[in-house]
Structure 1
Amino acid sequence: MIIEPTIEELIKQNSDLKKQIELLTLDVVENTENLKQAELNNEIASIQINQLKSTLDHLDTCIYIKDRNRKYLYANKKTLKLFGCTDQDLQGSVDSNFFPKETCEKLAEIDHRILELGENTSFEVESKDPEGNRLVFLENKTPIFDKTDTSKIIGLCGISTDITKRKNIQEKIVESEQELKQLNATKDKLFSIIAHDLRSPFYGILGFSELLMENLTETDDYESKEYISIINTSAQNTLTLLDNLLNWAKTQTNELSIRPEKIVLSDMIQEVITLKKTLSKSKEIKLNYSPETEIELFTDKTILQCILRNLISNAIKFTNIGGTIDVKVISNQDHVEVSISDNGLGMNKETINQLFKLSNSSALPGTADEQGSGLGLILCKEFVEKLGGRIWAESTLGKGSDFKFIFPIKTVV
């Protein structure tokens, strides 16, 4: 017997059905919205991935991803171009598909440390392109961990930068440094020869030639006296040139240091004049110096001697036979000014402007056809400046020249 529901029961069942329909409708709407959101999220993720790929493809460096079996999963355009393959060809490929055996062995060793130990690694690796040209890459690799289990390594990411040009330049620099060291060693040996072995014989030539000149009397052979004088003058000039070369080389390599000491200026000038007496006598030139006061300096004796020697030698060179050279000194509390004046050939303004320039390689012959390198005045300028002073020349063509330099009484190192 079928019992028919009462009206109240039917009304209640109808109400329950309506509620269930409403709930189902809400679920459908919610699921539809979730589905739309998921589709939107997928679209955003796809756009982001494409943007990331585009960015990586425009980088001038190789970027790639490998799985735990060291198979390639991804590579940017730079890497694909290096490998000479497409993105489809790359999937599942390994290093041996692209690199020689020696390179693969090194890459395998590094990859093992990353995948097994989780180490970040940076290293250089060499390889060759298809034409056999050398390639050098700086590799930076890092492990990739599982999202859900950060202790689990699922692959690695590598960034590879082509440093071939930089490496070649570095090696050339090292090679150049080695060559430079050899050249410096040769230079030092040459300076040593100039400073000792080559200069020493000239002192013997100078000493014996001066002794011969002193012992020759007026009645002795005039021609012999002239030859001995030529030998002495040539030896002095050559020795001066050697000294200038040695000193100038030291200034160019910063090997010349300032060593100030107390000296009496008049004594030093007299020493230099005595040294140049034979040279001045050969041209019958009078060297005049009459100190009025004793000036005590605190400066580098060797440098100051070199300046005086060169300026007096220069004056003798350009003074006519029978001429006169005057050395004068004036001073105040702080500075000393030395002038070497001659009544020789003189100079025009153009010549004066070129005197102390290294680019002026031409040296004029002296009044007795003496030759020179032109290095002496350049050296004087550098030395005077090292003492904290300055040098200049005043001259009138045909009437002589006046070389002056001023420097501190006390040189500050």
Structure 2
Amino acid sequence: MKKIFEHKIFKLIAVAFLYFILGKMSFMLSVSNGIVTNVPFFSEGIGLSFSILFGNVMAIGVFFGQLILALSSGLDIGASLFISVLNATLAVVGGTIFRKLKLSTELPTLRDVLTLLVIIIVIIQPISSVVGNIILLKFSRIEASNLVLSIISWWFGNSIGQLVLVPPVLLLYSQTNFTIKNVQNIILHSLGVFSFTIALFGISLYVDEIYRVAFILILFPVIIFFSLQKEPLTVSIGLFFITVAGFGSIATGFAAHLSISSFQQFMELDILLISLIFTALTASVLTNNLKHVNLLLENSKKRLDAIVNYASSGISIINSKGIHLYTNPSSSYIHGYLPEELIGSHFNLVVHPNYINASNELIQDALSGKYKFIEREFELIQKGDKKRVWIHLNVSKYPILNPTDEDSILVFYQDITKIKEYEKQLKELNTTKDKFVSILAHDLRNPFSTLIGFSDLLMEKRHQFDEQTLEMVIMNINQTAKQTYNLFENLLIWSRNEQNLVTLNSKAENLLLLVQECYAITNQAAIRKEIGLEIQIADQIEVMVDSEMFKIVMRNLISNAIKFTPQNGKISIVAITEPGFVILSVNDSGIGMDENSMKKLFQFGETVIKRGTNGEPGTGLGLLLCKEFIEKLNGTLSVESELGKGSKFIIRLPLKNKPNATT
């Protein structure tokens, strides 16, 4: 069924039928010869509407509708054909001009409405009335003496017919969300203005003839008020019903004045309605546009409020004195202050003391207009816990919108604390990577070079060596292999620790047994250098440690003491207790360190790498592991040393319980 209504043939039949019916209705209302009428010729409105909406092909329907109407009104075939061709052509002309000017069928702007009115009153109908009456005169249907009056009647009647039908038809067709409620409202309002118009014309019969026109003009303010309240569609349909009511009242004699001819009354009403249509449509469209603009402004304000209020960034307006004039709610998530707490307060309330001078300079730089945008990174102090928060600022001068506005700046800021933490972690990772590459490139190269050198020597000259020389070469290879293995082991442990793959399993362990086990592993190196060892640890001291992690620390510290202690030196491992803790120290009589070396000892990337007293290689990596592991065990590691007088590494660890005796 829908396809039938949308088919061109159906539309052509519809326009022809409506053209004929509405034409007959106009002739019935009019005092005319059935050819020329000074009441609204609604047929012209239907013809132009269909031509605008569905294209110039609708002129065919206009032609046949006008031809049947003319023939049925007694016009001869020649005149009927000429008049039909004229009206069909003008429908094409009107539709073409409408499309060429790119007017909208929704008539959304004053330009669309006024241009449509001009097309009808100034272009189409003057041509229609002049040419049409010349045709009638040619076929002797009107007298030459009545030509001017007939032209004016045709012009006014056809103009009103198009003015009151084209806008509502275009607007109705353009509706996309029409509801039953919309239809009910339009019907209700249309019946209201229809009844009011009939009543007004009826009452005018009882008004003195001198004041009759003035009384009828009451229609003007009422309809204008109606136009200011309603949508253009409702107003345009209301104007159609006002037109029918006014002309119908006069034609039926309900409001006809016997002292004045019906033709004169129609002409007066034509002028009144053309003025009323022009004013009402203009007022309605302007009001509708104003409402639309206000709605857009309101929606824009809501969107802007939503953006400002729900943005993740803090937004503030600060005057030249540093006082908050405005701050958005989201800013409280950054510094902890509510907008009402900040507005009226100084910007320095939230700025870290280290950045107060910088913030004052920033305000002045932004106000100077020298820079369009200024970016900075500041630290704020959060309300409550006084936590330091890093922010990234984007500052610009705020425009003066009102004469009373003062110079101020607009500040956007984001919390970049986590980014700063990630930057720090990245820097540490880069340092770790650089150190790792350095160890691989340098510290592993030397031992491998030694291994390759001795092994080559052994392969080429083994038959020339005596037993003592062979033993020395093999011992060097063995020692280098062990040192390389220890380096690899430390590298592996350190790498796992950096990746948080080392798990902690702390429990109560006997301190003396752990130390003795570690010394037993490193004892051979001490014997070769004839180093004496003294252990002073109470046999009942129990510490809360992860045994494997602690043994790595002790092996490194004892090996380090042996490495840097000369032949016949002395090493002591001493433990003393204090409430809740044990102080364990590894002391040697070695070469010691200066103040600068001690400062760099536990700084990754700054470690001091020295060879032992017998040329033993080192990387400094073992001491870094020791410090990190002791801290994981909730302890501390420190060092005391003096160049040429030995070193003392001090470990402080939590006790399980207080010992009963010491040795």
TM-score by length of 1: 0.51
Give how far 1:344 is off.
0.8
1:30 is the counterpart of 2:222: yes
Deviation, 1:264, is 1.4
Matches within 5 A, 1:10-409: 15=207, 17=209, 20-33=212-225, 34=227, 35=280, 37-45=283-291, 47=293, 223=469, 226-227=472-473, 229-409=475-655
Task: Write the distance in 1 (CA, Å) between the matches of 2:507 and 2:625.
Answer: 21
Mapped to 2, the partners of 1:330 and 1:309 lie a distance apart of 20
SS at match of 2:483: helix
Q: 1:256 to 1:13 in 2, by over 3 A?
A: closer
How much does 1:407 deviate?
A: 1.1
How far 1:273 sits from its partner (Å)?
1.2
> Are the equivalent residues in 2 in contact too, given 1:310–1:377 (CA < 8 A)?
yes
Structure number with higher strand proportion: 1
Report the residue type matching 2:632 in the other structure. Answer: K
- Provide closer, same or farther for how the CA distance between residues 332 and 320 of structure 1 changes in structure 2, counting only shifts above 3 A: same
Secondary structure (helix, strand or coil) at the match of 2:222 reads helix
Give the Cα–Cα distance (whole angstroms) in 2 for the partners of residues 344 and 231 of structure 1: 26
The one-letter amino acid paired with 1:28 is F
Partner of 1:409, secondary structure, is strand
**Equivalent residue number for residue 3 of structure 2:** none
| Deviation digits for residues 146-169 of structure 1 (CA, Å, limit 9, x no counterpart) | xxxxxxxxxxxxxxxxxxxxxxxx
- Please tell me whether the aligned partners of residues 537 and 576 of structure 2 are also in contact (alpha carbons under 8 angstroms): no
Give the letter aligned to residue 621 of structure 2: L
Residue 590 of structure 2 aligns to a residue whose secondary structure is: coil
For 2:566 and 2:476, the matched residues in 1 are separated by: 17
Q: Give the C-alpha shift of residue 270 in structure 1.
A: 1.1
Structure 1 position 30, deviation (Å): 2.6
Structure 1 residue 366: deviation in Å?
1.0
Kept in 1, the 8 Å contact 2:536–2:575? The answer is no
CA shift at 1:39, angstroms? 4.6
Alignment TM-score, normalising by the size of structure 2: 0.33
Number of equivalenced pairs: 237
For residue 46 of structure 1, report the CA deviation from its aligned partner.
6.7
Larger mean CA deviation between 313-322 and 229-238 belongs to 229-238
For structure 1, list consecutive stretches of 5 or more residues without a partner in the other structure.
Answer: 1-11, 56-219
Question: Could you tell me whether the CA contact under 8 Å between 1:339 and 1:402 is conserved in 2?
Answer: yes
Task: Describe the shift of the 1:337–1:222 C-alpha distance in structure 2 as closer, same or farther (beyond 3 A).
Answer: farther
How far apart in 1 are the matches of 2:560 and 2:606?
16
Q: Which amino acid aligns with 1:280?
A: A
Shift of 1:291: 3.2
Q: Distance in 1 between matches of 2:292 and 2:574?
A: 92
Inter-CA distance 361–291: structure 2 relative to 1 (3 Å threshold): closer
2:217 aligned counterpart, secondary structure:
helix
For residue 630 of structure 2, give the secondary structure of its aligned residue in structure 1.
Answer: helix
Residue ranges of structure 2 left out of the alignment (5+ in a row): 1-203, 228-279, 302-465, 658-663
Q: CA deviation at 1:266?
A: 0.8
Answer yes or no: is the 8 Å Cα contact 1:365–1:372 preserved in 2.
yes
Deviation readout 1:19-39 (Å, 9 max, x if unpaired): 754541211333355426425
State the distance in 1 between where 2:539 and 2:224 align. 113
Deviation at 1:297, TM superposition (A): 2.5
SS of the residue aligned with 1:278? Answer: helix
Bigger Rg, structure 1 or 2 = 2
Aligned partners of 1:284 and 1:323 also within 8 Å: yes
Partners of 2:556 and 2:626 within 8 A in 1: yes
Q: Between the two structures, name the one with larger relative contact order (CA 8 Å, sep ≥ 6).
A: 1
Which deviates further from its counterpart, 271-280 or 237-246?
237-246
- Give me the identity figure in percent: 32
Shift of 1:228: 5.3
**Contact preservation (8 Å) 2:536, 2:572:** no
